[in-house]
Structure 1
């Protein structure tokens, strides 16, 4: 299929598809006599995989390292890369949970301020509570 058809089916702009090709994420792109790109039947599936992986937090560099060359399948490396990404997500979740707890503490500290207390005094108490966390 040509790039226009692939763009329509994938929902991606042709420029994005060319970018992925230039990054080495889409392989086996042929050229017609007129120089137009000709994509194989697996190109749509590859684009869908790229989109899904990016939504899951993978960078293009990580994807490139995990995607096998045509006809090649590295199961152990794929599993290792996926497990590494899960570990990174778990670290981010812990950091976000800590940040959330700090913010909830700040909200409570602000709510606990008596009416009429100058903002500068409240800010000092709030900042002190954040530093203790």
Structure 2
């Protein structure tokens, strides 16, 4: 099939398909004598794997290491390891985001608690000083060592 048809089937722009080809992620391409690209049906599968992999948080570099050159030659253990590692990365990111959210909520509460007779700049100093004093030190953190 030609690139336009592949683009319609996958929903990817032709420029993105060419980009994936240029960086070596999409190897299933043939050039005809006139220079036109033609793709086998498996190219649609590869592009969908790339697209879904990116949505799941995999970088193009990670995907290039995971995707076999032949779709019939998956390395089961490598795939499982990569998927487990990505899950661990996402869980660590979620934990960090939850901590960031907690800190932002605390800051918001402190800013909203501004006394009516206090200027915004003074309130900012008040909040900053309270944040400096209320840093939590957990066992094993750098601050507690």
Aligned to 1:4: 4
Bigger RCO of structures 1 and 2 (CA < 8 A, at least 6 apart): 1
Aligned to 1:48: 48
Q: Contact 1:102–1:130 at 8 Å: present in 2 too? A: no
CA distance, structure 1, for counterparts of residue 47 and residue 15 of structure 2: 13
Aligned to 2:14: 14
Q: CA RMSD in A?
A: 1.4
TM-score using structure 1 length: 0.92
The gaps in structure 2 that reach 5 residues or longer are 137-145
Q: Contact 2:3–2:38 at 8 Å: present in 1 too? A: yes
TM-score using structure 2 length: 0.85
* Distance change >3 Å, CA 37–CA 97, structure 1 → 2: same
Aligned to 2:125: 124
| Secondary structure of 1:27 counterpart | coil
Aligned to 1:31: 31
- Residues 68-87 of structure 1: pairs in structure 2 closer than 5 A: 68-70=68-70, 71-87=72-88
Please list every run of at least 4 consecutive aligned residues from structure 1 whose deviation after the TM superposition is greater than 4 angstroms.
none
CA distance, structure 2, for counterparts of residue 52 and residue 126 of structure 1: 43
Aligned to 2:61: 61
